[in-house]
Amino acid sequence: MRSVSRGLAALGVLLVAGGFYLTADVYDVVPGVFTLDRALSHSATPILPSVTPTASPSRTVTAVPIPSVAGSVAAPLLTVAETAPIPTKAGLAAALARALADAGLGSSVGLTVRDAHTGAHLLDVSAQVPRTPASTVKLLTATAIVTTLDPALTFSTRVVLGATAGQVTDVILVAGGDTLLSPGKGNPLAVAGRAGLVDLADQTSQTLKAQGITSVRLRIDERYASGPRFAPGWLRADISQGLTGPVAMLGLSTLQPRPGTSAFTDPALSTAQDFRTALAARGVTVAPAIGWEASPKGARELGVVRSAPLSDVLALALATSDNALTESLARQAATKAGRPTSFTAVAAWVKEKVAAKGVHIEGVTLIDSSGLSGGALITARALGDVLALAAGGKDPALQQIVAQLPVAGLSGTLADRFLSGSAHSAAGVVRAKTGTLTGASALAGTVVDRDGRLLVFAILADRIPAGVGTLTARAALDRFVATLASCGCG
């Protein structure tokens, strides 16, 4: 009976997740996705800083949501029985001993396994020892974001009327937090490219012509949530190799970082240049030079386009482990909270926010909000705390975090994992956030075990021998989680 239930559950994942998978494929997220974590090299030169759950009245089932095409909560991944046996510590320890001893994990492993429904600690191995988390930092950051900003929030990109000098009027492109603008028309079904510059140019040109204005100068207002573009701990190679781009509040979806392509760009200026071209194509004479100008208070709006909801944008950031996008969202949330916008200040705010939710932060050190900077430390316990809060079903905003994690073998940074060998048995029943730096690899998320019990796990290995390599370490992590999934350890 258990194998039939697991088979139906996996089929449900394939059917429901298909829409998300197709959307991700359009943006080259899957298959064969590259994680935007980097290989850490201490000799490199740093750059200069410039769901609501559903439950029966008897509380016997919990629905585990999966992202829809847009990344928001749609249908349950699978229904897990709250009355299913809870694994025992002895049972888990015996079942996982061999997987934990895998040479691919190296000599320093931290682990926590929790029951998602009760939050009970089932197995902890050095869970309070701080370790290199890499991009699993984003789980803490996502928690801070969704508990500060409305998941339905959209980010507006506006054009307003500026001053007039002689026969030339200034029009000001106002940044509002959307770095996923389409250079063409917007796509209402997309996350990246929901809002389009062509649509904004259509509105602006029509309004200008209605006022008899045919000649303008284009200006940019980047005051919203402004801050440094690059973290002090990011390396030049991170940018030149496309592992991250600059943090901005205005940018194009077509300029998102891609591995192997330099991301040394000015997102706002590139966006303004494309907007200038679109205006000119609509009969508006635009001066060649683009400048920066604060928009006047109460300035007349000439046009506006809006991004996908925050929940969808955050889903994309988590699925692709997009460092700059995560930092941008964190900075906007910190701004909403009245905090400074430097990388260290935002990271400190993230730590404070998760601590306020009850996350055990002893030993936690955050350098940035994405995990790309070296020197960050997180315990398996802290990651387990975050995931237990998110998977417990008591806070719909936090539950979004679990809903937005990549699904093993299907989406995001797990699209090309859990596809072969013993790990394949866990494809579709694991959702997790990845983390990778040289010598360190991590995986943290949820899994349904053989008995149908939803479990939370976090495993960090940060002393992986140089001769082992990232792929071997990832495979060892995948085998560990697959062992956990196959465990009927109640």
Read off the pLDDT of each residue in 4-26 and give the average, rounded to a whole number.
Answer: 37
Distance of alpha carbon 300 from alpha carbon 163, whole angstroms? 11
CATH dotted code for 2-150+313-485: 3.40.710.10
pLDDT digits over 441-457, tens only?
999 999 999 999 999 99
Read off the pLDDT of each residue in 273-282 and give the average, rounded to a whole number.
Answer: 98
Contacts for 489 with CB less than 8 Å, ≥ 6 apart: 87, 88, 91, 92, 94, 95, 449
Distance of alpha carbon 72 from alpha carbon 421, whole angstroms? 31
CATH superfamily of 156-308: D-Ala-D-Ala carboxypeptidase C, peptidase S13 (3.50.80.20)
Higher-confidence position of 467 and 26: 467
- Catalytic residues, by residue number, are 135, 138, 321
Q: How far is CA 185 from CA 173, 188, 251, in A?
A: 17, 10, 15
Distance of alpha carbon 1 from alpha carbon 484, whole angstroms? 19
pLDDT digits over 365-381, tens only?
999 999 999 999 999 99
Written as one string, the DSSP assignment of 167-207 is TEEEEEEE--SEEEEBSSS--TT-STTSSBHHHHHHHHHHH
Which pLDDT score, from 0 to 100, does residue 9 have? Answer: 43
Q: How far is CA 105 from CA 131, 363, 421, 447, 458, in A?
A: 13, 22, 17, 20, 14
Q: What is the pTM of this model?
A: 0.85
Distance of alpha carbon 129 from alpha carbon 134, whole angstroms? 15
Q: Grade residue 429 by pLDDT with cuts at 50, 70 and 90.
A: very high
Angle at alpha carbon of residue 453, lines to 53 and 409, rounded to 5°: 80
Is the pLDDT reported for residue 285 higher than 70? yes
Which pLDDT score, from 0 to 100, does residue 81 have? Answer: 63
Q: Highest-confidence range of 50-54, 66-70, 156-160, by mean pLDDT?
A: 156-160
Find out whether 427 and 10 touch, Cβ atoms under 8 Å: yes
Is the pLDDT reported for residue 436 higher than 60? yes
Distance of alpha carbon 107 from alpha carbon 105, whole angstroms? 7
Distance of alpha carbon 489 from alpha carbon 272, whole angstroms? 58
Peptide bond into 31 cis (omega under 30): yes
Higher-confidence position of 315 and 44: 315
pLDDT digits over 95-122, tens only?
999 999 999 999 999 999 999 999 999 9
- Each domain of the chain, given as residue ranges in start order, spans 2-150+313-485, 156-308
Find out whether 145 and 330 touch, Cβ atoms under 8 Å: yes
Q: Grade residue 14 by pLDDT with cuts at 50, 70 and 90.
A: very low
Read off the pLDDT of each residue in 25-35 and give the average, rounded to a whole number.
Answer: 32
Is the pLDDT reported for residue 19 higher than 90? no
Distance of alpha carbon 272 from alpha carbon 287, whole angstroms? 12
Distance of alpha carbon 310 from alpha carbon 288, whole angstroms? 34
Is the pLDDT reported for residue 392 higher than 80? yes
Q: Grade residue 438 by pLDDT with cuts at 50, 70 and 90.
A: confident
Which pLDDT score, from 0 to 100, does residue 393 have? Answer: 87
Structural tokens at position 235: 């390396």
